[in-house]
Amino acid sequence: MSALSSLDWHAVRDHYDLRQKASTELLRLHAQRKLPQFIDLLLGISDSTGNYSASEHGLGPKIIAENLNAEDRLYAISTDFLRVKSAHEIPPMIRGARLRYFQIGVGSEASCMLNPRVCWVANVRTIWTHLVIKHADNFQKAAEELQLYRDSDVTSEMAYEMWQAIHGELAGTITRVAEEGAQLAKRAAVSPGSVKYIWADAIANQLYQDYYE
């Protein structure tokens, strides 16, 4: 029995619905080019469900304040996120944008919220879930390894390389979590989310809340 078996699938589904709603709103704001509202949601400023990675660490205001023409550059990379065919394209795109504080945690979450059928989130929640599976549900080992990511300087080259590597490793884990979670949700008489990477993110969020926070 995996750690996922003990999750409250009604809570997972509720979280999924909130994230899916934020994703739909982001796409609407992007299409209408409503930049201030779009950027505030993309960075979790107006609503944390738009980007937990940015919101929880107060990075949204820093990204706007410390990057020249931040809104236009964020809109441009968001447009690129919508066009990608593989999530493996995301880390190099984030690096190429050279936006201070807009690193893989925040950037991959933005890419998922904009293009969730292609892109997954690499933040502390999904990394935690990956590490729990990697360490066969040994929460202590997972927590110890997660600390390496939590303590890293988001602006450093070493941190970027570490986060890029774990982003790639998540590909298989995220699919496994989504599939196993769908089966467990159905057993609990809960309808699984239809958008794989937002669904997997909602599961990771619940696991993180239950076993790490």
Query: What sign has the CA pseudo-torsion 58, 158, 84, 80?
Result: positive
Model pLDDT for residues 12-40, shown as the tens digit of each residue: 999 999 999 999 999 999 999 999 999 99
Give the tokens for residue 114: 């904009």
Range of the domain at 37: 3-211
Amino acid of residue 24? T
Which of 66-70, 135-139, 152-156 shows the highest mean pLDDT? 66-70
Indicate the number of domains in the chain: 1
The set of residues, in sequence order, having a beta carbon less than 8 Å from that of 63 and lying 6+ positions away, is 43, 54, 70, 74, 99, 100, 101, 102, 106
DSSP 3-state of 101: coil
Nearest to 122 by CA among 99, 141, 142, 149: 149
Model pLDDT for residues 155-204, shown as the tens digit of each residue: 667 778 889 999 999 999 999 999 999 999 999 999 999 999 999 999 99
Q: pTM for this one?
A: 0.93
